[in-house]
Amino acid sequence: MTLVFMRFISTGKKMLICVNYLAYVNMLFFWISNSCIKIMLRKDSINVIVIGAGVIGLSTAVNLQLKEYRVTILANHFPGDPSNIEYTSPFAGAIWQSLTTGDKRQQQFDRDTFKLFWKLANGKANETGIMVIPAYNYYSNPSKSEKEPWFKDFVPTFRVLGKDDELPSGSTFGVHYTTVAVNPGIYLKWLFSQFITMGGQYKRVTLSHIFDAMDTSVDIVVNCSGMHAKTLGGVEDKTVVPTRGQNVIVHAPHIRKTVSFMSHGYVIPRSDGTVILGTTHEEYNMDTTVNPTSAEKVLELARTICPELTKKKDGTEIKLNIVGYITGIRPVRKGGPRVENEIMVSPSGKKIVVTHNYGHGAFGYISGWGSGIYATNLVEKSFAQLQKEKQDVISLFSRL
């Protein structure tokens, strides 16, 4: 190129041709580069890995698919698997009952989740295992935010219980509203089937480090590892506190309301006629065996806050039909859930967007769908920034 240029410089005309030729090459380079970037930015060509197939992981994966990303879930447990205490979501009581107060982000998570569940309960109740039910929350020493919960203006039939409403022993205040109850076994399978129908892929793996999810084809990793975020290499979040819960399952199809004595326990009916009675909160306890003493305390409280479990209106006794006992580990995180971005460099040297979405504790079914929406928006924001950095480099060279 240097020899050709030196020869052309002998006449002005030929020099102009050379300059135009170089400008053409630069313009062609810029056009090709931009075309490559546009191809790269097609979302169906962007590979996203979601770690975890609990209610948070599945909710996030489906939200990413709705934005047309190509999504693969990596997990050790999936809906329909045999019971395992490390797979928390199937053991949840699963009632929409927001307990957040002034956290606006958490309120949005919960609101978005309620909106989805309400639509599903009124359109696909049988397929999803979600049903609309009346809720009664009781308190022994309510705070101002519990007396006037943030959600009172959008849940149906909200009212403060009055003098004509009977309160259970030990409570001094109560509210009523209409909510939704979720049968986790049905809902998780349904949500997973939607993921598969939209082209999602999954692999059963055990990850020891977050880098294990980053081969050279991966662009984005979303970490929904739940309690495993405490031990997953590259994350190792010491604020995650595995917290055991033990519930009792009874068959009581006549119970068609949910009752909660806040900070004590609950009664939650499911669409199949079973009712979940709970619960315990035992930090760092990973024991899978049923504690008979805890079970009896749960049963005693349930009889107190929901007398209809064992008595008809005329006072006739109803024998409680115990179906079984379940234990699960809640992925509690001190300080609340972690839903945020970071950029990691993979072992191959590639910059990877990592979006964390874990630590929701007992509130996965209260906030899961909404947190999935939020995490998806974080993915889009961070990945767009990485692509802009690449575009800036290409633009720089195109001007040289």
Residue 194 in any domain: the answer is yes
pTM of the prediction? 0.89
Q: Do 77 and 19 share a structural domain?
A: no
Let me know if residue 94 belongs to a domain. yes
Any domain includes 313 = yes
Q: Is 295 contained in some domain?
A: yes
Q: Which residues are annotated as a binding site for D-dopa?
A: 97, 330
Same domain, 35 and 51: no
The enclosing H or E element of 134 equals strand 130-139
Summarize the annotated binding site for FAD as residue ranges. 88-89
Q: Is 89 a domain residue? A: yes
Tens-digit pLDDT string for the chain (400 aa): 444 444 444 444 444 444 455 455 455 545 554 555 444 457 778 999 999 999 999 999 999 999 999 999 999 999 999 999 999 999 999 999 999 999 999 999 999 999 999 999 999 999 999 999 999 999 999 999 999 999 999 999 999 999 899 999 999 999 999 999 999 999 999 999 999 999 999 999 999 999 999 999 999 999 999 999 999 999 999 999 999 999 999 999 999 999 999 989 999 999 999 999 999 999 999 998 999 999 999 999 999 999 999 988 878 899 999 999 999 999 999 999 999 999 999 999 999 999 999 999 999 999 999 999 999 999 999 999 999 999 999 989 888 8
Total structural domains within the chain: 2
Strand partners, 231: none
Residues 122 and 17 in one domain: no
Give CA separation, 299 vs 169, 220, 277, 318, in Å. 15, 46, 7, 14
Residue 134 within any structural domain of the chain: no
Q: Determine contact, residues 398/279, Cβ cutoff 8 Å.
A: no
Q: Are residues 319 and 338 in the same domain?
A: yes
Check whether residue 90 and residue 9 sit in a common domain: no
Structure token digits, residue 372: 């999935």
Cis peptide before 279 (omega within 30 of 0): yes
Same domain? For 54 and 106 the reply is yes
Q: Are residues 30 and 60 in the same domain?
A: no
| Binding-site sequence positions | 88-89, 97, 330
Task: Determine the structural domain holding residue 32 and report its residue range.
Answer: 2-40
Does residue 160 fall inside a structural domain?
Answer: no
Within-domain flag for 398: no
- Strand, coil or helix: 243: strand
CATH number for 346: 3.40.50.720
| The pLDDT value given to residue 20 | 53
